[in-house]
Each structure stands twice: as structure tokens, then as C-alpha cells.
Amino acid sequence: MPYSAPLDGIRAIAILAVLIFHISPVVLKGGFAGVDVFFVLSGFLITSILLHDIRDGSFSMREFYLRRVQRLLPNVVVTVFAVVLLWTLLMPPSQAIQAGRHGLWTILNLSNIYIWRNLGGYWGDAAEWAPLLHTWSLAVEEQFYLFFPGFLLLLARVQRTRVLAWLVAATVLSLGLWLYGSRIHPVATFYLLPTRVWELLLGAALAAHRTPLRTDDSYPRTLGPKALEAMGWCGLGMILVGFLLIDEANEFLGLVTLVPVVGTAFVLVSVADGKTRLARLLSVPFMVVTGKLSYSLYLWHWPLITLGKLQACLSSPGPLPALLLASYWPGGPTSASRSRFVNGVVAARGASRRSLPGSASWPLVPVFSPPGTRCPTLATVSTPRRSTAFSTAPAGV
């Protein structure tokens, strides 16, 4: 599948929204919906690659998973190791133990389950101070890709002309579970794959619409250039409305999540061929570079923000000042060199694999103390709680 710069631009929109939300939620209270944008984009991109390979007869389950390992696992391991090391050196022992336990679940791609069972909703006190809280979304994605390639390959063999219909049906089923569960069991609904998979499947359905498996078919272009332009700008507006207006207190959070998710789908339809004005906007160098760095930015930003807040609390309890702390992740060029080395070891296992753009760790990341943040008690951040199986506490992203 050829590279598409606008898709990196969509990644940039998502990661910038998440960063702004985590640095200062009052500035962009719905920025957490950037994760929803990521889910739709991920489903679209990976399914497009899978369908192209299946259609060409070049798909290999082994190669798919080795590429996933090369792209994702090295930085996750390094991030977890760094978090555990920093928490061991700088935090009370109870917090270091908790970080180590969570780190193990993270490496096993079960972070979402750990958080659901031990920390509760995303906006809860215990979750707010967990350095690996953000890895819940990575776990959801990897759990999805654990079964999805096999499912898609099975459909391609026994229901080749109905792949799109099956994906749409699965999307609708999961969306129904999401809408039901978000009111009845919000925490479990927020974190677990069955109620989150509809976002990934929506992107997958778009990819299946664009890439029919029959070799005599091509992408059915049902929209003209003006309609594609209008759809793209409408979708971008829906994403921005979601970022600005959605918040965790919304009584209908499950329903309003459709706004940025459907908006992302509209943008993907508009920019996939790279010919619209929106596609050109998303392809400017800043957006492309930010999008390529999005994975590393996402991995490192939250541990550093949490570390900065906790260190500020330990030195001066009370409300945290809204200022930039003089704390940077050390290493500079060595961080990138380390990541390239680790990725190189994995890539060496297959001559056809190479390091992917954006796989190097972000070398210097400032640690912010969000305005209005208050220091926790030691019990809040050091003692994980086991939530009930289906808590009714407010859920979060």
C-alpha cells in the first residue's frame, strides 16, 4: 500500500489534542477524544494493508506480527523500564511496586484490564496519578489485532464478496454494546475491547469499501470532487467540535463520542487519495512530522507529566503551579540511538523489514504541571484499589 501523507496529518491532530488535554484539560476539555480518532485511523490503515496483501496473495501472518513487534514492542519495553526505574529512584516503594506491576500488564497488552480492575475510571484519583494510564488504548489496539487478521483472512476465503457486510454488522453490534454499556457499566465499557472495537471496525469497513477483494473490482467512487471536499471539511469540523465540547461530565458521553468518530471517517474518505485541499493541508511538513512522531509522543508524554506533578507535590504540597518544570527526559541523541539499535535487532530477523518512521523515542520532552492540579494523598497514588467488576463511577478516556 503506497504511503499517504494526509494520514500522518490525522495522527498529528489526534496526538496534539491528547497532549493539550493532558497538559491543561481546561483548554481542550474534549481532547481525550483524540484516542477515538486514533482508533478509527488505525482500523482503516491496518485493514487497508491487510486487504492489499490478501488480494495480491502476499499476506503472511508471521510477517504481520513481526512487523507489529518491530514497530511497537521495543519502545513499550523501554518506556516501561524507564518508568519503573524512575519510580524506584524517586518515589516511595509502594508506588514503585505499583508501577512495576502495571508495567508487566502493559508489556502483556493487558493494561486496559489492569486499569479497569485496579484503578477505575480515567478521571478517578487513583488513575490520574498512574504513570502508565495512557497505555490502556495501546492494549485495546493490540488485543484487536491479535484476532482481526485471522478473522479477515477467514472472511476472505469463505465470504469473499461479503467482507464489507460482515464488518458493518460487527461495527453495529459493538456500537450497540457501547451505547448500552456507557450508561449501565461505564468504566468497563470504556476500557474493554468488545465495547471499543466498533471504532476500529468502522475504519476497517471504510478500508473494505475502498479495497474490494475481487481483483476485477476497483474502489467505487460514488462521490464527486466537490462532495469529497465538503465531506472532509465537515468531518474536520466534527472532530474539532468533539474536542471543544465533549467532557467527562456529559450525561450522554457514549452517544456524543459518535461526533468525532464519524468526523474521522468523513475525513478519511475525503483525504485518502490525497487530492482534496484538506489532504494538502494535512500533508504540510509540520503535520507529517508530528504524525510520524505520534507513537513516541504518546508513549512518553504521560509518564513525564505524572512524574513532574508528583515531584512538585513532594517538594511543595498543595495546588500545583501552572508552570513549566525544569525537568527533561535525559539522553538526547542517545535516546534515539538506543531505540534505533533495539529496532535494528528486531528488523535483522527479516531482510524485508526495516525501522519505521517515528519509531525513535522523543529525546527531549518537557514536563508540565497542568493548571489547577491538586496534590494527592500518599494513599491515593500508592494503593491500587480493586474495583467491582462493573463500577458505575464515571468513565473516562
For residue 272, count CB atoms less than 10 angstroms from its CB and return exposed for 0-12, middle for 13-18, buried for 19 or more. Answer: buried
Residue 166 and residue 288: Cα distance in Å, rounded?
A: 33
Paired with 366 in beta bridges are 328
Q: Is pLDDT at 321 greater than 60 in this prediction?
A: no
Give me the DSSP letters along 203-238. HHHHHHHHS-SSTT------S-HHHHHHHHHHHHHH
pTM of structure: 0.82
Domain limits, the chain: 5-382
**What are the tens digits of pLDDT across the range 363-384?**
333 444 444 556 665 545 554 4
The 3-state DSSP class for residue 397 equals: coil
**What are the tens digits of pLDDT across the range 176-213?**
999 999 889 989 999 999 999 999 999 999 999 988 77
What's the chain's average pLDDT?
A: 80
The pLDDT value given to residue 327 = 36
- What is the Cα gyration radius of the chain? 21
Nine cell digits for residue 60:
503472511
**What are the tens digits of pLDDT across the range 115-149?**
999 988 877 777 888 999 999 999 999 999 999 99
Residue 178 and residue 189: Cα distance in Å, rounded?
A: 6
**Residues whose CB falls within 8 Å of the CB of residue 309, separated by 6 or more in sequence, listed in order:** 129, 320, 369, 370, 373, 375
Q: Is pLDDT at 361 greater than 80 in this prediction?
A: no
Q: Is pLDDT at 360 greater than 70 in this prediction?
A: no
The pLDDT value given to residue 254 = 82
User: Residue 188's closest CA among 361, 391, 40?
Assistant: 391
Looking up cell 528488523 gives: 347
Paired with 367 in beta bridges are 325
Q: Is pLDDT at 19 greater than 90 in this prediction?
A: yes
